[in-house]
Structure 1
Amino acid sequence: MASASLLKSSPVLDKSEWVKGQTLRQPSVSVVRCHPTAPSALTIRAGSYADELVKTAKIVASPGRGILAMDESNATCGKRLASIGLENTEANRQAYRTLLVTVPGLGNYVSGAILFEETLYQSTTEGKKIVDVLVEQKIVPGIKVDKGLVPLVGSNNESWCQGLDGLASRTAAYYQQGARFAKWRTVISIPNGPTALAVKEAAWGLARYAAISQDNGLVPIVEPEILLDGEHGIDRTFEVAQKVWAEVFFYLAENNVLFEGILLKPSMVTPGAECKERATPQKFLSGGQSEVEATLNLNAMNQSTNPWHVSFSYARALQNTCLKTWGGRPENIKAAQEALLIRAKANSLAQLGKYTDDDDDEEEEEDEDEDDDRGMNTDFSGMCNAL
């Protein structure tokens, strides 16, 4: 996550910067977007929640801690359960989520947990509200607020994220239930373009979601995800990433989003999944890896001084071994929780740039689904998130 304090008074990049293919940088006065006749365009969105938003962002971005992404939809959670031979029932989902949130000491390494709507209103198998269990662990509850990806008409088989309709009332209700930050996942596909339409739709949707979330007390995770699909090299990924990031921040500014009160979650810049030329952690920040690789790459990111706080927001990279160890058996709960704690502690050390592991080359099975969260967390109050 990247530090908002560095962005507080930064001028806004004109979109022409990336249209020209130039590297993102602090622009000179000549490229500052300025509207003398529309002073509201330079207004920083505050509102009654401004101080709370900044405080929440700083807590989630606290050193040595990151985000546990457990916001799988019921359908995706069903895939996880099926992998260990369990039916996709509410009772089984509840049992697994209870296992995750009740890990003793988890709050030492995890600062926030992204929940699915069912989980936000759910209780543990012992009858205690999951939100309350997280708060007792000093873990900030978060909530997935988008309504999923659908085809983007007029594009090159690309998609857009729906969910803006009714978002204000939903986020207000989520706040009342105890959520304090939000997630909205939109994606960009390099093999399919990306078209200017897809990039603009993704950026505008993220900006509107961020503004609405802040207006109702939730710190928005801003997640412009570049999909791993494709044969392109790392340079092409970086080129697209620059364009997308610039477009996103252009519209965040247009919507008067408070930068200090967001968490930026960009994808790691990697070659496409089908690219024959691979890169190493010493060369770049990698995504789409095994549990250990994800930790090693996060550690590599934090070997030097970063302009922002770079942390993690992991789903399978924290949960995979835990899930397999549990296997749906009550007698395995303790071992499964220990497995999760091991991964959480490892990524805590990696966030501080202190992780070392020479022996563990365990690989995890990778699959493609809409709810996988593996990113770097950068916050604009002290940290920008985990790809």
Structure 2
Amino acid sequence: MPALNAIARKLVTRGKGILAADESEGTIAKRFALIGLPVTLESRRDYREMLFRSTDAMNKYISGAILTEETLEQSAKDGTPFRELLAEADVIPGIKVDRGAFPIPGSKDEKITEGLDGLRNRLAHYAELGAGFAKWRGVIAITNYAPSRNGIRTNAHVLARYAMYCQEAGIVPVVEPEVLADGEPGDHSIERCEEVTMETLDAVFSELRLAGVDLAGMLLKPNMVLPGVRAAERASVEEVARRTVETLRHSVPAAVPGIAFLSGGQTDEQATAHLSAMNQIDALPWTLTFSYGRALQTAALVAWDGQEKNVPKAQAAFEHRARMNSLAALGEWRPELDMAARAA
């Protein structure tokens, strides 16, 4: 599928990455709580408009933006459709299509992502609106009881069916199997994360092949290999990078054009540092970049504080974080660049 491959490769253009702006109402409520801002249709619109009108960040460092259904059809305050703002910046609009994770019947501490019912029709509608790619998140928790083989296989099967429907609609599937770093109890070792991530990715690609998904017309959005957020032993940047790349080499076919990491369980700078260290490892068969939400947006959100007068300051914060991750996608980030920005 040459057209899908072309879109996938554009999304992982060297030095660019994906802005994840697809927060659910519940998630964005938690973000807005940081600045004491109520969640309304207007506040969500104004916040995302601030990001999408950040010309330096969007034009230079962002290749795609994952949107909610609301945002894909939404317009800025002056009536300009958000899709037009993205097009002006040559940013491909994407769409989150899953309906959230729910408990697996008969399991303990495991969830399955729902939303396959009616997905074919929804994807056709999103394609008409100009969506070039989609995203579906499967959640794998590490606990005293989980994950089970059934939990991993069930999520892998659903991810494959989603990807198959996307390609049928001419939309690039971004496949996101996330092994949580911040679930409960969150005290697992980096070795345990590596083991579970490898098993999960092996299952996902086995199901993708069985479903007939064209691996050259998709992207992977995985977690990095990290210890749990409450683990007693931490890991160096170099160890995280090494273990993550080794896991990917074991499980991810070279046919996949690119890997755009999520930032779960990390600070902004940790997500940047780990990505940069991975891109300093030689002979990688895929482009490694970012698909960050919180790790791209938090500084901008705090600077914005829900006030129009703060928009330029917030956009400058967003541009800085996007530039740092662009450098990381090239393996050129240095911690002193972030330190200089803080001093300024």
Aligned to 1:264: 220
Distance 1:152 1:177 in 2: 33
Q: 1:291 aligns with which of 259, 268, 288?
A: 268
Normalization by structure 2: what TM-score? 0.88
- Partner SS state of residue 284, structure 1: helix
The residue identity in structure 2 corresponding to 1:328 is: G
Please list the CA deviations of residues 137-163 of structure 1 after superposition, one character each: whole Å capped at 9, or x if unmatched: 011100000000111002223100000
Q: Which has the higher helix share?
A: 2
Normalization by structure 1: what TM-score? 0.79
Kept after mapping to 2: 8 A contact 1:156/1:195: no
Farther off after superposition, 319-328 or 238-247: 238-247
- Partner SS state of residue 230, structure 2: coil
1:84-233 alignment, distance < 5 Å: 84-105=35-56, 106-191=58-143, 192-228=145-181, 229=183, 230-233=186-189
Kindly report the root-mean-square deviation, in angstroms, between the aligned alpha carbons of the 2 structures: 1.4
How far residue 175 of structure 1 moved from its aligned partner, in angstroms, is: 0.7
Aligned to 1:8: none
- Partner SS state of residue 65, structure 2: strand
Q: 1:274 aligns with which of 230, 238, 243?
A: 230
Aligned to 1:66: 17
Q: 2:279 aligns with which of 295, 302, 311?
A: 302
Aligned to 1:331: 309
The residue identity in structure 2 corresponding to 1:297 is: H
Please list the CA deviations of residues 32-58 of structure 1 after superposition, one character each: whole Å capped at 9, or x if unmatched: xxxxxxxxxxxxxxxxxx222111001
How far residue 87 of structure 1 moved from its aligned partner, in angstroms, is: 1.4
Aligned to 1:377: none
Please list the CA deviations of residues 208-237 of structure 1 after superposition, one character each: whole Å capped at 9, or x if unmatched: 000001111110111111011322211111
The change in CA–CA distance for 1:129 and 1:209 in structure 2 (over 3 A counts) is same
Identity of aligned residues (%): 44
Distance 1:62 1:138 in 2: 12
How far residue 74 of structure 1 moved from its aligned partner, in angstroms, is: 2.1
Distance 1:195 1:153 in 2: 13
Kept after mapping to 2: 8 A contact 1:185/1:224: yes
Distance 1:74 1:194 in 2: 27
Distance 1:157 1:84 in 2: 32
- Partner SS state of residue 175, structure 1: helix
Larger Cα-atom Rg: 1
Distance 2:266 2:195 in 1: 22
Kept after mapping to 1: 8 A contact 2:109/2:141: no
Q: 2:297 aligns with which of 319, 328, 333?
A: 319
Residue ranges of structure 1 left out of the alignment (5+ in a row): 1-49, 363-387
- Is 1:347 the counterpart of 2:336? The answer is no
- Partner SS state of residue 182, structure 1: strand
Distance 1:232 1:290 in 2: 18
The residue identity in structure 1 corresponding to 2:223 is: S
Q: How many residue pairs end up in the alignment?
A: 313
Residue ranges of structure 2 left out of the alignment (5+ in a row): 245-262
After superposing on structure 2, the runs of 4+ consecutive aligned residues of structure 1 that deviate more than 2 Å are 358-362
Aligned to 2:255: none
- Partner SS state of residue 312, structure 2: helix
Distance 1:243 1:80 in 2: 32
Distance 1:77 1:277 in 2: 31
